[in-house]
Structure 1
Amino acid sequence: MSRKQRHPLQAMALMTAILSQLAGSVLIGLFLGKWLDERFVTEPLFLIVGLLLGLATGVYAMLRSVRHFFSGE
């Protein structure tokens, strides 16, 4: 089984995509949770929920990117 050779820049692009997806989704979840906490005066509740939802979304997006990278599409 021959393995498809990839350019090193493709691996760097994958790592950049993973980093931006994880960091971006967590930051969006944090800021949205903080805004909701200030709006509804429920100090740590929505911050924690936003953090967890952002982390879950980031991991899901990361897994989709890695699966797409290794599928050869």
Structure 2
Amino acid sequence: MRQKKRHPLHAMGLMSAILSQLVGSILIGVFTGKWIDNYLKTEPLFLILGLLLGLAAGVYAMLKLVHHYFSGD
């Protein structure tokens, strides 16, 4: 297996993209769940569901990004 020489800035870009995807998707899930809870008066239910869905979406996006980065596409 041949190792590609990658610039250190590529690794920093990958880490910042992973961080922004994880944090962004979790925040979107939490705020959407909180908004639905306020609208339907079901206090912690959709907040927890939004958190879990946001976390799952963030992990999925992170795995796709890492796979794309290491596949060389």
Shift of 1:2: 2.4
Query: Number of paired residues?
Result: 73
- Alpha-carbon separation, structure 1, partners of 2:10 and 2:64: 16
Aligned Cα root-mean-square deviation (Å):
0.6
* Runs of at least 4 residues off by over 2 Å: none
Q: Report the TM-score, using the length of structure 1 for normalisation.
A: 0.98
Hey, what does 1:36 align to over in structure 2? 36
Runs of at least 5 residues in structure 2 that lack an aligned partner in the other structure: none
Tell me the residue number matched to 2:70.
70
Tell me the residue number matched to 1:52.
52
Gaps of 5+ in 1: none
Identity of aligned residues (%): 70
